[in-house]
A and B are shown apart, each in its own frame.
Chain A
Amino acid sequence: MRIGVFVCHCGSNIAGTVDVAELAKRALTLKDVVHADHPMYTCSEPGQQAIIDAIKEKKLDRVVVSACSPHMHEVTFRRTCDKGGLNPYLFEMANIREHCSWIHTEMPVATEKAWDIIRMSVAKARQLEPLWSNEVDVNKDVLIIGGGVAGIQAALDLADAGLKVTIVEKETTIGGVMAKLDKTFPTIDCSACILTPRMVDCGQHQNITLMTYSEVEKVSGYVGNFTVDIRKKASMVDWTKCIGCEICVQKCPSKAPDVFNIGLEPTKAIYIPFPQAVPKRAAIQVDFCRYFQTGKCKVCERVCPAGAIDYEQKDEIVRKEFGAIVVATGLDVFPWEDYYGEYGSGKIKDVISGLQYERMLNASGPYGGHVHRLSNGEDPKTVVFIQCVGSRDESVNRPYCSGVCCMYTAKQALLTKDHVGMNTEVYVFYIDIRATGKGYEEFIKRVQTEFGVKYVRGRVSKLYESNGKVMVRGTDTLLGEQVEIAADLVVLATGITAAPGAKELAQKLNISYDEFGFMKEGHPKLRPVETNTAGVFLAGVCQGPKDIPATVAQASGTAAKVIGLLAKDKLKTSPMIAVVEQKNCVSCFKCIEVCPFSAPEKQEQRDGSFKSHVIETVCQGCGVCVATCPVNCIALKGFPTDAILDQIQEALLV
């Protein structure tokens, strides 16, 4: 055996704490190691060339790169080995950066630990064997979960590229949060004017199938071949007949909370969220419907000119196959009422959330764009905005910045002056102003100077009602004094929180998420729209707070990645899978019981008996069967038992 070891400097990332030259020298003393080097940047072009040259010149049959995490560059170096003519699975990586140089400070300590890690990796490398990938057919259909602006953008990009796209959206219409907005910063463009044509495009595109009022129930399979069960929720309206005329909505006698307008005014039990809905179809909120609650009514059935009402409708599970999945589930507004007792917990009528104010400003909202006090309907003379409600606040477990509130507050402050009049007093309480996008800082300046919005640096400690006003008590930290403002209307710059059900969806897709429910990208810079599950991609706020331009850009980036994946007719599967040594199999079939993917099967032998056999293209390489097999006759390629035991031995050599 001829092993080559490359101990990377990674500039000073590793060499600053680990004596890489010394380790390369020591590596040469190890059994089977015939070549050792310490390149400055092993992943760079000359670094990779050095590996290729060494494979050829020194006839290496194993390569160990001691550098960063395999999650960072394992794929890179496998490719390098391949180029050098070495089977890419005869490569092993020793992580001496993330797991060593970056967490230790003292050179001797880190160097000795790195030495252990390198020896362990060499020990593993000795046990590796060449592996070859299989090829599977690729389904070229794409599932997009979430029909907000991210899902819409990704869908249109993919559909224009000729791929068949299905959008699954839990509400009855696509559009998401952007459909609720009045204007967008920093241009004060009309949100609906930008979005609704895109929504219509989605509805009419021959390559896009809309499945609204539906949710993902179950996901199985793997990249290129996912099987997804989608629950089509019962809307009690036959959407093949419904023409969206809204007569049922006008005649319905039952009131229900209006989710689209964030509870500002009630809607009807049978509803269409907004006039530009796509698809424009009615649905009954069963919990509030008089017929479903009392057994009498059926007004909607009588008035419907299309005969679309169907009280017997049941949820339906639709099974579909996809090659790739894009998650674009967006966000929810931080539920401030549950956390901010000092702001009245939602009991003060004239204290509303940023999104509620957006609906109030919106001409197609419940008030036709009339800004007024909810307590008495009068125009407000003094409006106060409070920033960072549910953002940058550890006391409510939201230490992160939502990224959009500074800007939307400035926009709403401007629009307040625009709707109510320039003589309206508008105050903004802020911690810092974060205006990092293109044209954002200029916009803030314009709001402050041209529109005369007064910015007060400090947090509001209490809101309370007094003499028909909302008293805003806070501190001006720049002047160092207490401030009290009698406001007519208070708008909270409510932050972004992960969409409800985001964690459950992530679990169904086997992708990672953080403590706040935002989904984790493969790598923040190298794989920002991929997840660690091949074939599952991210777009928009489900990955972390961002504004509309960033969301749209990311969605297009995601679409490009999906197109890249599905441009191939065949996909290479990982050869690191389980293989049964059938001569030792005792036919207990425990492997079949434990496998999460039903990869092992009973295979008939020549003598008529049955032994276990793992279907290569189905196996995902978890190794659960390997640890379960009572006679140890299943091997996991790439992670052989002997390698693990040798790593243990090597780590403990004293």
Chain B
Amino acid sequence: MTATLAYLRFELQRTLRTRGFLLFVLGFPVLFYLLLKDTAGTGFRPLGIPFAGYYMVCMAGFGAMITAINSSGPRLAAERSSGWNRQLRVTPLPGWAYLSTKVLTSLLLTLPVMVVVMAVAAVFGPVHISAVTALELLVALMAGSLTFAAAGVLLGYAISSDTANPMINGGLLLLAYFGGLFEPVAAMAAWQQQIAYVTPTYQLAAVGWWVLGGRTPLLPHALALLAYLIAFSALALWRVEVDEARSAA
């Protein structure tokens, strides 16, 4: 247990020291929020939520998701190629602790990102929600981010470290765009909406909209996120096994 905690502390410490990473995961959602919160014009209330709040969910979700994937995926890929995970494999640190700590770190790091986005939204939106609702939103989006952390693990084992960063972030931008995080789904063309409804990004945001009282059900979106989580986790574990069998072969 102490070994796992020490490893968790290390993972957090190291991330907080990587300033470029923080700038990226904090800067983009905040910047997009400030640039785009007014584009829809006043009176636009998708799902019945004022646009400032609707868009806060989009950007908090976007921030949470890029944090979750980026603090697991590219790092796992880099650690596999640098031999760091071999170095860990000869210590008594249990194998499961390595991956679960990565996932836990990813989830914990989504918190400060979402808090910053929501604080900016509260001031500049302005968004008026109760502290309880804000807390519910944090918990809901963080739980939903587990799906993206699992996707990060999968990508970390499926992609080489050279291509991990551009591939992951290019993919994320597309997913965010087609999932309606930048442009409200209601404003999309019909064919685009069909795509949006199947993206995991849309499911994550929809859970957030539900928390803010939007006219959308919780269960289908939560189940869709769970289905994605199971699929990503299964694929990730399969990749991990292939990788371990290969290195032990």
Decide whether A and B are members of one complex: no
Residues of A with Cβ closer than 8 Å to B? none
Residues of B with Cβ closer than 8 Å to A? none
